[in-house]
Amino acid sequence: MYHSADYAVFELHQLDEQRMLVELERRRVVADRLAETQHLESGVTDAARTRRGIRALLPRRLRPLTPPRPAVG
């Protein structure tokens, strides 16, 4: 028997399986990104509210920082 031929076929099958897994992962990433852009274009997030920028989430004025209290002891 030609074991080297069987080994080559086995390696080809392994490479095909790895390539298929990579392609499936790429397709999943593309589908996720398309779903995100469709949600963003509609202006609705997963929480069903309009999207706000990071500045809208920050407080308008920052409080002055108080120095840390010395440890008692």
Q: Domain for residue 23, yes or no? A: yes
Q: Domain for residue 7, yes or no? A: no
The pLDDT score that the predictor gives to residue 43 is 60
Residue 73 pLDDT class (50, 70, 90 cuts): low
* pLDDT tens sequence across 22-62: 999 999 999 888 888 876 666 655 555 555 677 666 767 77
The phi and psi torsions of 44 (rounded to 5 degrees) equal -120, 135
Q: Domain for residue 46, yes or no? A: yes
Residue ranges making up the domain that contains 24: 18-60
The pLDDT score that the predictor gives to residue 45 is 54
Q: Domain for residue 71, yes or no? A: no
Higher pLDDT, 21 or 51: 21
Q: Domain for residue 56, yes or no? A: yes
Question: Which H or E run includes 54?
Answer: helix 54-57
The pLDDT score that the predictor gives to residue 67 is 72
Q: How many domains does the chain have?
A: 1
Q: Domain for residue 5, yes or no? A: no
Q: Domain for residue 1, yes or no? A: no
Question: Which H or E run includes 8?
Answer: helix 3-42
Global pTM reads: 0.46
Q: Domain for residue 39, yes or no? A: yes
